[in-house]
Amino acid sequence: MNKFGIVSRQLITTIALAVVASFALAQDYDTVILNGRVMDPETNFDGIRNVGIKAGRIEAITEDAIKGTEIIDATGLVVAPGFINTHSHSFAPFEQRIMALDGTTSLLDIEVGVTSAPIFYDRYKGDSLLNYGVGISHEEVRRVVLDGLSQEETSDSTYVLKTRAKVEELAAAKGEASKWAVQVPTPEQHKEILRMYEQGMLDGAISVNTTVGYMGYGVPTYEIFDLQKLAKKYDRIFGAHTRFGPTESLPTDYTLGVREVLANMAALDGAAVMSHMQNSGWQETYEMCQRFQEKGYTIFCEYYPSIFGNPNIATPQLMSKELRAANNMDPTSTVFDPRTAKPFESEEAFLALQKEDPGMGVFVLVRDEEWLDQWPYMKDAAIANDVVTYFDENGEILAEDADLSLYGGHPRNARSYSYVLRLARDLGIPLMDIVHNASYTPAKYFSQLGLKGMQERGRMQEGMIADITIFNQTP
């Protein structure tokens, strides 16, 4: 791992169909991709070309005939930079497999994150299908400082729903409430929160993260400002799940939380990403991002194509009747039981499951369906999937080679990119716009901060790392 970077692999993924490879001996390149529609979103190049790859890098993009040891016939297919998912809370092998099938080559968590970058990177070293990187987690750091969890158990966001559940169970055993989401830290605790973040920057975390949207009652504004100061100090992006819930009504609208982060960014001349910005008032958020981009700020919006969120059933907004009402979350109409795919039959049934299995993910209707056809028109806005790990009935993750029919997680985990590609095709949106958002947008803004791993990805150009996605865009 680089001091400030992502763990890297050469990756060629395919979506929509399988690409058949044949082999020849003693040829010029390790791999050649022939007759594909090569698309480079940085230069807007779009043409039929042959691609030669050697030692993990693109060495040639040419109309000339080329030969290689591995030959991929991409006739009729698009050859694009590998998709960069900036919003993943699973690095489990099965989720990595289904994301690779959807075109993902790089997997980042710049929203939740971890408390120890070394623990996280060591855990997946040599055992990851995709490139990976992570930021330092606001909620997990607060669970360590305020609730006493260890860094070992809070350094893999694959299990974030389980740590949320564990802290509730530990608090309940003591006859008290957990503190991470609702308690304002003491001055000493605040210093410890900042110390853990600073250590994370020194250890190579790629971002300063916050999920303050889950913790708005316990996080003072100066805590967010101080975290953004750290991000600026270390030239990191601030990954923001902003204050206030996606379904709250005025005067506590989601965009007020966006404005908090943007005001801090402007004051500090910092960098930010607005995580899953497709919530209430998303049109304002998008316009503000665009205006800051025009002024030269390092900022981008990010969305995933779904109207359902996927928190655990004991997430703070669901823990009391008053908070559920404030967030317009009704277990009998807008909160769906994953076992039945329907709203809960009663408040009592919801509360019983919340007590029995606080880590279980539920599906919450938080957005208008008509927005699905509007989001793909956004320009320079990253596409992500906000993947959350699926655990089977025994509480275990699925094996990488598990039958796909066993999967019962959120659909966004498996098909965000292919869904947007198909939707954009049907809506007549230029394909280059979608390739740009899926790969180049995050690569570009991370590149501006000096992240070498992103300066060499998100582009189909000679000299770049050969992270490539090949897919069929024809009806």
pLDDT tens sequence across 49-91? 999 999 999 999 999 999 999 999 999 999 999 999 999 999 9
Range with lowest mean pLDDT among 197-201, 249-253, 440-444: 249-253
Give 394: exposed, middle or buried? Use CB within 10 Å, 0-12, 13-18, 19+: exposed
pLDDT tens sequence across 357-416? 898 889 999 899 999 999 999 999 999 999 999 998 888 999 999 999 999 888 898 899
Residue 244 lies in a domain: yes
Residue 87 lies in a domain: yes
| Same-domain pairing of 238 and 293 | yes
The pLDDT value recorded for residue 26 is: 42
**Domain span including residue 143:** 83-307+366-451
| Same-domain pairing of 237 and 90 | yes
| Same-domain pairing of 373 and 467 | no
pTM recorded for the entire structure: 0.92
| Same-domain pairing of 16 and 142 | no
| Same-domain pairing of 257 and 395 | yes
Those residues with Cβ within 8 angstroms of residue 77's Cβ, 6 or more apart along the chain or in another chain: 17, 19, 36, 37, 470, 471, 472
| Same-domain pairing of 186 and 198 | yes
Q: Taking phi first (over 0 means left), then psi (-120 to 50 degrees means alpha), and beta for anything else, what does residue 322 get?
A: alpha
3-state per-residue secondary structure call for 151-187:
CHHHCCHHHHHHHHHHHHHHHHHCCCCCCCCCCCCCH
| Same-domain pairing of 126 and 60 | no
